[in-house]
Amino acid sequence: MYFYAARQPILDREKKLFAYELLFRDSLDNVFPNIDENEATTKLIEGSQLGLDDMTGDKPAFINFTLDTLQKRYATMLNKEQVVVEILETVQPGKRLLAIVKELKELGYTLALDDYIHNPVWKHFYPYIDIIKIDFLEMATEEIKQVIKDISPYKNIKFLAEKVETYEQYQSAMDMGFAYFQGYFFSKPEVIQSKSLAPSQITLAELLYETSKSEMDLKKISEVFQRDVNLAYKLLRYTNSAAFNRRAEIGTIKQALVVLGLAELKKFLSVLFTAQVASTKPPELMRLSLTRARFAECLAIKHGHMKDTAMAFLAGMFSLIDGILDQNMSEILDKLPLSIEIKDAILKKEGLIADYLSLVEHYELADWEQAKMITEQLNIDVKTVPDAYHDAVYWANTQMEAMSK
């Protein structure tokens, strides 16, 4: 079975990861509105049985439920600590739904109303609802304020702002008291400003330049690492981590570089560079950069049309660098020693790498129709795309764990 699902992060007021929403389709050939919502929920639950932890780690998963799937008690198949039961906006409030909501609440499940539309009938549900999701693209600001005011007596309810795409929208939601936020606002520059790179970041940029050459100068790269004890330590720790399953420990910089090889070294340096400049940003932004990098690389490998698939990796990694540094993308890329193919892909949306990035972005948003179209244009086997995505998610989680030690 191919498990077609994407995840979207949900952050709290401190921009810390609170949960993920899992978005499911039956296949890239079977997209909404043609696929039945009941089938989508059923398949997602079935897939979740195979490994929810791989997609969400230790965070809960928001999963959409229809009235039919709620009546069949599918929600109770999932651990109450791992799921937020999200009642779809298409479900009409009524006695049957109220009875189900009460039962789930008694069992200890967290309940959310998706794409909330204000209606007096929902008042009967408020005592049992934990989260109400407000679509910032659909509901006007004054209407949102009225909803919050009307529901304010129910202190058990927290509000989640979804489809928050800009820092301005995020700040507006913060001012209105929203507890949670969903959307890619955290991947956009908050303030366009000039930010200089620290000495260690300049050293990393120098290493990126050296590894971008057609032939690696092992002696010169070793010397650069030897000048920075912190980088040398991280290199040795990384090559000895569980990510590589080495039988014998690596004890010298030269040995570590040889064992890693050029492709893995490029990954390590780009990950380390991004991690350093993203130190004041939400960790989820770093995780998304890593997922994009690995996903783009996997697509390039499966496509088989690029000699150096590490370029796709670097493009994915740096596709969010403007949000990380809070600067204009073109100004940042001018300062970085990246190939013209990578820069054109990110800035001009041109070339094969740009197609990979486009597919990555549409998959993240669960825009299956566009993802399917790009996949067909590239002539990539559509059945391999979800596996590539899940591989990227797992790899990103592994890297984040390795860097946190």
Query: pLDDT tens across 296-307, in order?
Result: 999 999 999 998
| Helices (H), ranges, 278-378 | 283-303, 310-318, 321-325, 329-335, 340-347, 352-364, 368-378
pLDDT band at 9 (very low <50, low <70, confident <90, very high): very high
Question: Would the pLDDT of 2 be above 50?
Answer: no
Q: What domains can you pick out in the chain, each with its CATH number? A: 4-187 (3.20.20.450), 199-404 (1.10.3210.10)
**Mean pLDDT of the 33-45 span:** 52
Q: Specify the pLDDT at position 68.
A: 86
Q: Specify the pLDDT at position 244.
A: 61
**Mean pLDDT of the 105-112 span:** 96
Question: Would the pLDDT of 187 be above 70?
Answer: yes
pTM: 0.80
Question: Would the pLDDT of 179 be above 90?
Answer: yes
Tell me how far apart the alpha carbons of residues 129 and 123 are, in angstroms, rounded to a whole number: 10
Tell me how far apart the alpha carbons of residues 134 and 116 are, in angstroms, rounded to a whole number: 6
Q: Specify the pLDDT at position 23.
A: 79
Q: Which residue has the higher pLDDT, 318 or 161?
A: 161
Question: Would the pLDDT of 248 be above 70?
Answer: no
**Mean pLDDT of the 328-337 span:** 82
pLDDT band at 239 (very low <50, low <70, confident <90, very high): confident
Query: Whose CA is closest to 129, among 90, 99, 102, 95?
Result: 102
Question: Would the pLDDT of 225 be above 90?
Answer: no
Out of 38-52, 60-74, 256-270, give the one with best mean pLDDT.
60-74
Q: Specify the pLDDT at position 114.
A: 93
